[in-house]
């Protein structure tokens, strides 16, 4: 089980995962209202990684901690970090 900290950018018009100096930034299409951005984040990360993804902190913040049942090495390889 790996926990990673990410920064999300809601309402950006696209879904994209970028990495700079080992920090993940995730652009979301959805607005941060009615939990839409969080739902998109979990759905798209599950699709991308093929594994369960859970938000463990930061539900109302741009900085979030995700829990993913993959090793850190697998996660880095899959996200090209």
Give residue-wise pLDDT tens across range 57-67. Answer: 999 999 999 99
Q: Full-prediction pTM beyond 0.95?
A: no
- pLDDT at 46 exceeding the cut of 80: yes
Rounded average pLDDT over 42-66: 97
pLDDT of residue 80: 77
Rounded average pLDDT over 33-55: 96
- pLDDT at 81 exceeding the cut of 90: no
pLDDT of residue 22: 80
Nearest Cα neighbor of 53 from 61, 64, 62, 42 is 42
DSSP string, 28-48: -SS-SSTTHHHHHHHHHHHHH
- Which architecture, in CATH terms, is 2-79? 2-Layer Sandwich (3.30)
């Amino acid at each position: 089980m790996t926990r990673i900290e990410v920064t999300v950018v809601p309402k950006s018009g696209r879904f994209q995962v970028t990495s700079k100096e080992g920090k993940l930034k995730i652009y979301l299409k959805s607005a941060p209202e009615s939990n839409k951005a969080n739902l998109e984040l979990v759905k798209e990360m599950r699709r991308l990684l093929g594994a369960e993804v859970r938000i463990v902190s930061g539900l109302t913040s741009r900085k979030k901690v995700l829990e993913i049942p993959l090793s850190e090495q697998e996660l880095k390889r899959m996200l090209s970090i």
